[in-house]
């Protein structure tokens, strides 16, 4: 009979669930598992778990991760004090606090407390804030929604007043357990030598790093691999000096800053610029001999481009020429910046990368930039496109009209022989819409069309292409507006029918 085996099994399971219905399956889990679960909760919920039952009553006092970053501000220091007074575990995995207090004695006592318990990760944020900002939007740095603070009201611009900041005690700078450290908005008051024997990841955020501080700090971190600098030296030059042989990755994440940047990091393999690139000269990246990968994710740059700025845009094309990297990742803003060069027939230095990863919405002012990149990357073997709705630059004045071009037929008239391109990956095809986007059927179809046109161009110009792998995004919003099956069928048919310059090219489509 039909599926009796499955049904039997199913019923059996059902009855067993019913017969144990009153059973509490979670409380039987061993302590380490329950504690692991608690470490994913905000502190309030961790403490609240004590009300559940006897099993849970004391667990919170052993939670390995202590996170007071989302605590209601005026009470933070008192609450941390209370909590630590109850704390029973001999080992702290991670301690995070956001607190604008400058009560040195109290904060020092937390630092001693955590270091006695061999803390491995510390997140110490002393930025001034008002109550309404104490929600943890900004907590882990990379999760912010950058555009919401366009007005830059409270955020990270503390330019004039480093003297009022909390100073870490000298003893802080000796630890044989710390692996990950984030310091935000405090005074880097270094002893003559530092010893973080296991530290691998360091993030300095809104600090003023002057003189030989970099040298002292990094020479005490023999294992340092990953360094992030967020809005440090916001009004002064940033001279990064990291001679560590293990340093692999450097991220410069800045917003509303000025001054020069100088980077000395001979072992560096990867560099990333995020948010904005507003320093007046980035050419020191050419002094990074081992660099293999560079990423420019500066989508928060000003979208308004004024006519007197146009002439400075050649610097972005030149910057790519300084980078002798295999792997180059560019955001949509950067691509648009290259467009400004391309339409003026400015030819920058060649790009040596063999892999380009581009995030683009294929908007009008991204097209010339894409053409520029393809033409100038004669070594290109792999191209990755991440389709994401992009914010289009707004060309002020007459530039846009003076250099206008036909968007519809852009790829039709363009011809760029891609002699080494073997592999094309497209992620999020027909997708990448922002959450706030109100979509229409027309918009979806016209975007799909733009993307198809570019695919057609790529297939027509890639002489030795082996594979084009297209991952079609299936966003629910699209399903609501169009007959998805019909659209997918149509798109697939088109993609497979485009003429291919390479006889061995395969087009693979996945949903």
Binding site for other proteins (CB under 8 A): 17, 20-30, 32-33, 36-45, 47-57, 75, 78-79, 82-83, 427, 469, 473, 475, 489, 492, 496, 507-511
**Contact status, residue 426 vs residue 385, Cβ threshold 8 Å:** yes
Q: Which of 179/256 has CB closer to other proteins? A: 179
Q: Which of 187/509 has CB closer to other proteins? A: 509
Nearest-approach distance from CB 505 to other proteins, in angstroms: 12
Nearest-approach distance from CB 40 to other proteins, in angstroms: 3
Nearest-approach distance from CB 170 to other proteins, in angstroms: 32
Identify the DSSP state of 167. Answer: B
Query: 179: helix, coil or strand?
Result: coil
**Contact status, residue 383 vs residue 461, Cβ threshold 8 Å:** no
Cα–Cα–Cα angle for 407, 413, 414, rounded to 5 degrees? 90
**Contact status, residue 246 vs residue 225, Cβ threshold 8 Å:** yes
Query: 262: helix, coil or strand?
Result: strand
The closest of 15, 140, 131 to 71, measured between CA atoms, is: 131
Nearest-approach distance from CB 318 to other proteins, in angstroms: 30
Nearest-approach distance from CB 314 to other proteins, in angstroms: 33
Q: Which of 60/333 has CB closer to other proteins? A: 60
Nearest-approach distance from CB 26 to other proteins, in angstroms: 6
Q: Which of 40/170 has CB closer to other proteins? A: 40
**Contact status, residue 330 vs residue 356, Cβ threshold 8 Å:** yes
Q: Which of 198/509 has CB closer to other proteins? A: 509
Nearest-approach distance from CB 86 to other proteins, in angstroms: 8
Residue 309 backbone dihedrals phi, psi, to 5 degrees: -85, -25
Query: 225: helix, coil or strand?
Result: coil
Beta strands at 506-510 and 201-205: parallel, antiparallel or unpaired: unpaired
Nearest-approach distance from CB 300 to other proteins, in angstroms: 19
Query: 387: helix, coil or strand?
Result: strand
Residue 156 tokens read as: 């990270």
User: d(Cα 282, Cα 280) in Å, to the nearest integer?
Assistant: 7
Nearest-approach distance from CB 147 to other proteins, in angstroms: 17
The closest of 172, 169, 40 to 93, measured between CA atoms, is: 40
Nearest-approach distance from CB 510 to other proteins, in angstroms: 4
Q: Which of 26/176 has CB closer to other proteins? A: 26
Total Cβ atoms within 10 A of residue 128: 13
Total Cβ atoms within 10 A of residue 466: 14
Q: Which of 44/88 has CB closer to other proteins? A: 44
User: What's the number of CA atoms in the CB half-sphere (13 Å) around residue 370?
Assistant: 26
Residue 418 backbone dihedrals phi, psi, to 5 degrees: -105, 95
Nearest-approach distance from CB 294 to other proteins, in angstroms: 19
Q: Which of 413/485 has CB closer to other proteins? A: 485
In DSSP terms, 462 is beta-bridged to: 418
Query: Which residues, 6 or more positions from 305, have their beta carbon under 8 angstroms from its beta carbon?
Result: 313, 340, 393, 394, 395, 396, 399
Query: Which residues, 6 or more positions from 163, have their beta carbon under 8 angstroms from its beta carbon?
Result: 187
Q: Which of 243/508 has CB closer to other proteins? A: 508
Crossing angle of the two packed helices 314-322 and 332-343, in degrees rounded to 10? 110
Nearest-approach distance from CB 458 to other proteins, in angstroms: 17
Q: Which of 21/308 has CB closer to other proteins? A: 21
Q: Which of 56/405 has CB closer to other proteins? A: 56
User: d(Cα 383, Cα 455) in Å, to the nearest integer?
Assistant: 12
Total Cβ atoms within 10 A of residue 94: 18
Residue 365 tokens read as: 């002012």
């Amino acid at each position: 009979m039909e599926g009796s085996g499955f049904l039997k099994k199913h019923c059996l399971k059902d009855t067993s669930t019913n017969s144990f219905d009153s059973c509490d399956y979670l409380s039987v889990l061993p302590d380490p598992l329950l504690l692991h679960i608690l470490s994913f909760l905000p502190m309030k919920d961790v403490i609240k778990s004590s009300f559940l039952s006897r099993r849970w009553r004391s667990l919170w006092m052993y939670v390995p991760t202590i996170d007071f970053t989302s605590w209601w501000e005026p009470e933070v220091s008192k609450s941390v004090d209370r909590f630590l007074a109850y704390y029973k575990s001999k080992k702290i995995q991670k301690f995070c606090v956001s607190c604008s207090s400058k009560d040195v004695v109290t904060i020092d006592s937390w630092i001693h407390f955590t270091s006695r318990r061999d803390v491995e990760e510390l997140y110490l944020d002393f930025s001034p804030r008002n109550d309404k900002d104490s929600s943890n939007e900004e907590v882990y740095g990379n999760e912010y929604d950058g555009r919401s603070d366009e007005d830059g009201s409270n955020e990270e611009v503390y330019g004039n007043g480093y003297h009022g900041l909390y100073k870490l005690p000298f003893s802080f700078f000796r630890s044989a357990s710390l692996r990950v450290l984030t310091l935000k908005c405090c005074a880097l008051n270094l002893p003559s030598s530092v010893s973080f024997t296991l530290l691998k990841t360091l993030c300095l955020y809104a600090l003023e790093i002057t003189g030989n501080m970099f040298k002292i700090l990094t020479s005490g971190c023999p294992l340092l691999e990953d360094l992030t600098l967020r809005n440090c030296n916001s009004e002064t030059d940033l001279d990064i000096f990291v001679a560590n042989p293990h340093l692999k990755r450097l991220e410069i994440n800045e917003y509303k800053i000025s001054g020069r940047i100088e980077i000395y990091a001979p072992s560096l393999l990867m560099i990333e610029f995020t948010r904005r690139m507003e320093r007046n000269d980035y050419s020191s990246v050419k002094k990074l001999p081992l660099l293999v990968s560079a990423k420019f994710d500066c989508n928060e740059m000003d979208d308004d481009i004024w006519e007197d700025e146009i002439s400075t845009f050649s610097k972005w094309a030149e910057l790519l020429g300084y980078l002798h990297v295999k792997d180059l990742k560019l955001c949509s803003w950067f691509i648009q910046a290259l467009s400004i060069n391309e339409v003026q027939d400015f030819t920058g230095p060649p790009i040596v990368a063999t892999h380009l990863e581009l995030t683009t919405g294929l908007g009008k002012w991204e097209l010339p930039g894409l053409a520029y990149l393809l033409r100038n990357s004669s070594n290109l073997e792999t191209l990755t496109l991440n389709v994401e709705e992009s914010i289009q630059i707004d060309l002020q004045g007459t530039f846009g009209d003076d250099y206008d071009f036909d968007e519809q037929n852009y790829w039709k008239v363009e011809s760029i022989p891609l002699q080494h391109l073997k592999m094309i990956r497209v992620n999020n095809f027909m997708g990448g819409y922002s959450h706030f986007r109100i979509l229409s059927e027309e918009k979806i179809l016209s975007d799909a069309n733009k993307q198809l046109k570019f695919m057609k161009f790529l297939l027509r110009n890639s002489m030795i292409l082996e594979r084009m792998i297209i991952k079609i995004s299936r966003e629910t919003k699209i399903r609501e507006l169009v007959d998805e099956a019909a659209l997918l069928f149509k798109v697939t048919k088109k993609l497979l029918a485009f003429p291919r310059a390479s006889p061995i090219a395969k087009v693979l489509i996945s949903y």
